[in-house]
Amino acid sequence: RIVYVDGQYVNEADAKISVFDRGFLFADAVYEVTAVLNSKLVEFAGHLERLQRSCRELSLTMPVAPAQLKTIHEELIKKNNLVEGGIYLQISRGNAGDRDFAFPGAEVKPTLVLFTQSRPVIDSPKVKTGIKVVTMPDIRWHRRDIKTVGLLAPCLAKEYAHANDADDAFLVENGFITEGSSSNAYIVLADNTIVTRPLSNDILHGITRKALLVLAARDGIKVEERLFTPDEAYHAKEAFISSATTFVWPVVSIDGKPVGDGKPGPISLRLRDIYVELAKAEVA
Ligand code: PMP
């Protein structure tokens, strides 16, 4: 793979980052993952806007202009002949030459890294099978609205899920589900209303979530943005997750209990279909 590191397109084996890079030492870095279909970016404007917000919240300076970022994405897609998958971008506060908690001065430039990941997005096997999730405490920090690379808690969540015969976790705080370990979480009620947690600092403001809620309303599907408990999820008709890497994946069991009839539900699949339509129209 060709990767991008600070202005250079290099073979992944030749890419170098300092051991003093603050992304490495402190997870002092933000990231974005944008889906790629037909060699084109899906919802890039949304990802760019969130990236700018993440940077602002952490007083992190964007190393290149927003328009330039898009060009770098497109160039890297081309260099890797990426047709379908994702593209990862990370901005860290850079290499301050030593380990010191306090932010370095403006002379230290942020580090910009991008790489591509080739994988099926449209024909993912999880769409047909759905995923199994387990609930567990949300031990993450309190600024989950900022997309930082401090991802140890979600790594532990995935490990816990895999150790318990599940694919992923629904994280629980004060008795309510916040989100998935790397996705937003939804349930579907008996009357086909979709319920998902409202935006706050407790969850990441998903780009896919934002589009889905607009598409659902347009499709005549009722949406309630409110808190919901694991118990309400156990008794829901359907459940699903959304993210740029999965789009929409149905959830077929929670804590070993089947959701509805234990198969991917029609509302989840309908939402996936209309999101795929939107994404395909954008990259046509
Ligand atoms: N929540 C968390 C914790 C995530 O890591 C992600 C994936 N980035 C999402 C939600 C979904 O966000 P998006 O739709 O923008 O990928």
* 184 Cβ below 6 A of ligand 1: yes
Instruction: Tell me the catalytic residues.
Output: 147
Q: Which of 231, 248, 254, 268 minimizes the C-alpha distance to 165?
A: 254
Q: Please identify, by atom number, the ligand 1 atom nearest to the C-alpha of residue 179.
A: 1
Q: Does domain 2-118 have CATH number 3.30.470.10?
A: yes
Question: What ranges do the domains of the chain cover?
Answer: 2-118, 125-283
pLDDT confidence of residue 57: 98
User: How sure is the predictor about 231, in pLDDT bands with cuts at 50, 70 and 90?
Assistant: very high
244 CA → ligand 1 middle, Å: 7
pTM of structure: 0.97
* Residue 144, both tokens: 């989950």
Q: How far is CA 229 from the centre of its chain?
A: 22
The residue whose CA is least distant from atom 10 of ligand 1 is 183
Q: Looking at residues 36-41, what average pLDDT do you find?
A: 98
- Chain CA centroid to CA 90, Å: 13
Point out the ligand 1 atom lying closest to the alpha carbon of residue 210. Answer: 14
**Cα separation values, 172 from 3, 138, 175, 178, 234, Å:** 36, 5, 6, 6, 14
Q: What are phi and psi of 185, to 5 degrees?
A: -115, 145
The identity of residue 281, as a single letter, is A
Distance 96 CA to ligand 1 centre (A): 29
Q: What is the share, in percent, of the chain residues with pLDDT greater than 70? A: 100
Distance 206 CA to ligand 1 centre (A): 5
**Residue 6: partners with Cβ closer than 8 Å, 6 or more residues away:** 63, 109, 111, 112, 113
pLDDT band for position 234 (cuts 50, 70, 90): very high
C-alpha 107 to ligand 1 mean position (Å): 32
| Alpha carbon separation from 84 to 45, 67, 90, 137, 283 (Å, rounded) | 18, 22, 20, 34, 11
* pLDDT tens-digit readout, 146-195: 999 999 999 999 999 999 999 999 999 999 999 999 999 999 999 999 99
pLDDT value, residue 113 = 98
Chain segment 241-270, per-residue pLDDT in tens: 999 999 999 999 999 999 999 999 999 999
The closest of 159, 132, 139, 149 to 60, measured between CA atoms, is 149
- Average pLDDT for the chain: 98
Per residue in 72-84, pLDDT tens?
999 999 999 999 9
Q: 267 phi and psi, to 5 degrees? A: -70, -45
207 lines ligand 1 (CB under 6 A): yes
- 102-110 mean pLDDT: 97
- Decide whether any atom of ligand 1 lies within 6 Å of the 244 Cβ: yes
Q: What is the domain class of 125-283 according to CATH?
A: alpha beta
Q: Is the CB of 243 under 6 A from ligand 1?
A: yes
| Ligand 1 atom having least distance to the Cα of 181 | 3
Of all protein residues, the one whose alpha carbon is nearest to atom 3 of ligand 1 is 182
- Our answer on whether the CB atom of 183 is closer than 6 Å to any ligand 1 atom is yes
pLDDT at residue 170, rounded to an integer: 98
Mean pLDDT of 110-123: 98
How far apart CA 110 and CA 116 sit, in angstroms, is 20
Q: Name the CA dihedral angle for 233, 238, 243, 247, rounded to a multiple of 10 degrees.
A: 180
**Residue 252, exposed/middle/buried by CB under 10 A (0-12, 13-18, 19+)?**
buried
Interface confidence (ipTM) of the complex: 0.99
Average pLDDT of the residues in 102-115: 97
Output the pLDDT for position 225: 98
**CB distance 208 to ligand 1 below 6 Å:** yes
**What is d(CA 157, CA 152) in angstroms, rounded to the nearest whole number?**
9
Return the pLDDT at 130: 98
CA of 87 to the centre of ligand 1 (A): 14
Per residue in 236-245, pLDDT tens?
Answer: 999 999 999 9
* Ligand 1 and 182: CB distance under 6 A: yes
SS3 50: helix
